[in-house]
């Protein structure tokens, strides 16, 4: 039976009618109404209604950014949308009678899609790190998504790697997000550009464009510019160290890395693996996990939300 997945993002609400094998049968998109939580709920209802059609549905899964409670009912807090302790599940259920609705954090939904239909396929234990502006994560352990006792598990980006390190948006210091994110990669690239030497091409791109952005750095990575590769290795080194600590706790069979920079493939995975092996507790006695880049770049949130809702409805 098909299920509907909805991914509420800062700029768009994406929806899909999703088959059991993860393929999207029909899709629908709306701009996210700015700054109005009630309008967003109305838009989500519209997307569900337009995707619904005449056939029977297994369930509706809605993925939203931010903290969702362990009962998957309430959005405690979400950045960019004015929801504070918003009873999203009840509000949607009231407007969509007869449908089985579940809500999940968007990173968890995307991670679940990767586990079921992407790079995590065939494993029972997967840890996903998404390298975006920040660092997001999702953890599947023994075939289940790890949500935690309060629903706030897998905030991997806020694992501390440097005591007293750089300040983080979460109010703490030294989180991996400050060393392993797209923003950190730009910082490394700028530092290398300042030193000239291998940073010449980065410095030239910066002079030409006014400032470096992720796109310039990525282009230089693909061209195997030594300065850009050095910045990428620095990023990979931090991520590999973090993965080693995660192994001590979660022991995944595979680490999957998503986000724009993951398109660098092996150029990113090699330094991650090297740093992982160097920092692994009891190194030499631990089987080596897989290191892979995410396969479901687009629509992972939609596919994962639908599949989680179906799994939940069948449980
Ligand atoms: Zn933090």
Residue 44 CA to ligand 1 centre (angstroms):
30
Through-space distance between the first and last CA atoms of the chain, rounded to whole angstroms: 15
Q: Which of 70-84, 85-99, 224-238 has the lowest mean pLDDT?
A: 70-84
Residue 68 CA to ligand 1 centre (angstroms):
18
Give me the pLDDT at residue 190, please: 97
Q: Checking DSSP bridges between strand 254-258 and strand 126-131, what pairing results, if any?
A: parallel
% of residues, the chain, pLDDT over 90: 85
Give me the pLDDT at residue 285, please: 86
Residue 223 CA to ligand 1 centre (angstroms):
32
Give me the pLDDT at residue 176, please: 97
Residue 166 CA to ligand 1 centre (angstroms):
9
Q: Which CATH number is 3-112+299-314's, of 3.30.420.40, 2.60.40.420, 3.40.50.150, 1.10.10.60?
A: 3.30.420.40
Give me the pLDDT at residue 157, please: 95
Residue 71 CA to ligand 1 centre (angstroms):
25
Rounded-to-integer distance, Cα 203 and Cα 215, Å: 14
CATH 3.30.420.40 given to domain 123-181+227-293: yes
Residue 155 CA to ligand 1 centre (angstroms):
9
Q: Write the CA distances from 124 to 19, 127, 238, integer angstroms.
A: 22, 10, 25
Residue 222 CA to ligand 1 centre (angstroms):
30
Domain spans of the chain, in order of start: 3-112+299-314, 123-181+227-293
Q: What is the chain's Cα-based Rg?
A: 20
Residue 168 CA to ligand 1 centre (angstroms):
5
Residue 239 CA to ligand 1 centre (angstroms):
15
Residue 178 CA to ligand 1 centre (angstroms):
8
Q: Which residues have CB atoms below 5 A from the ion given as ligand 1?
A: 158, 168, 170, 172, 175
pLDDT at 80 over 80: no
Give me the pLDDT at residue 35, please: 77
Residue 85 CA to ligand 1 centre (angstroms):
21
- pLDDT, tens digit (0-9, with 9 covering 90-100), for 13-34: 999 999 999 999 999 999 999 8
Residue 167 CA to ligand 1 centre (angstroms):
8
Give me the pLDDT at residue 310, please: 95
Query: Are residues 110 and 98 in contact, defined by beta-carbon separation less than 8 angstroms?
Result: no
pLDDT at 162 over 90: yes
Residue 130 CA to ligand 1 centre (angstroms):
15
pTM above 0.85, yes or no: yes
Phi, psi angle pair for 102, to nearest 5°: -130, 155
Residue 135 CA to ligand 1 centre (angstroms):
9
Question: For 251, which DSSP code?
Answer: -
Residue 312 CA to ligand 1 centre (angstroms):
31
Residue 58 CA to ligand 1 centre (angstroms):
37
**pLDDT confidence of 77, banded at 50, 70, 90?**
confident
Residue 261 CA to ligand 1 centre (angstroms):
20
Instruction: Please state the rounded mean pLDDT for residues 62-69.
Output: 92
The two domains 3-112+299-314 and 123-181+227-293 share their CATH topology (first three levels equal): yes
């Amino acid at each position: 039976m098909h299920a509907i997945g909805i991914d509420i993002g800062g700029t768009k609400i994406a929806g899909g009618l999703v088959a059991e094998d993860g393929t999207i049968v029909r899709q629908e998109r709306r701009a996210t109404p700015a700054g109005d939580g009630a309008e967003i709920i109305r838009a989500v209802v519209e997307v569900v209604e337009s995707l619904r059609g005449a056939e029977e549905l297994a369930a509706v899964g809605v993925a939203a950014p931010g903290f969702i409670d362990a009962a998957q009912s309430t959005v405690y807090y979400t950045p960019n949308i004015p929801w504070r302790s918003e009873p999203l599940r009840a509000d949607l259920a009231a407007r969509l009678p007869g449908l089985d609705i579940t809500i999940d954090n968007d990173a968890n939904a995307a991670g679940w899609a990767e586990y079921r239909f992407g790079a995590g396929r065939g494993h029972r234990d997967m840890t996903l790190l998404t390298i975006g502006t920040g660092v997001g994560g999702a953890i599947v352990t023994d075939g289940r998504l790890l949500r935690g006792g309060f629903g706030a598990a897998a905030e991997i980006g806020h694992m501390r790697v440097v005591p007293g390190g750089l300040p983080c948006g979460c109010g703490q210091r030294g989180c991996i997000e400050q060393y392993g994110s797209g923003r950190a990669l730009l910082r490394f690239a700028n530092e290398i550009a300042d030193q000239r030497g291998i940073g010449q091409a980065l410095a030239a791109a910066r002079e030409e464009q006014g400032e470096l952005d992720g796109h310039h750095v990525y282009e230089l990575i693909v061209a195997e510019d030594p300065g850009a590769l050095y910045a990428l290795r620095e990023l990979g080194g931090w991520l590999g160290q973090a993965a080693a600590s995660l192994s001590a706790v979660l022991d995944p069979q595979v680490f999957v890395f998503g986000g724009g920079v993951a398109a660098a493939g092996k150029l990113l995975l090699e330094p991650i693996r090297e740093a992982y092996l160097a920092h692994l507790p009891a190194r030499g006695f631990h089987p080596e996990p897989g290191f892979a880049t995410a396969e479901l770049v687009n629509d992972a949130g939609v596919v994962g939300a639908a599949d989680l809702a179906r799994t939940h409805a069948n449980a």
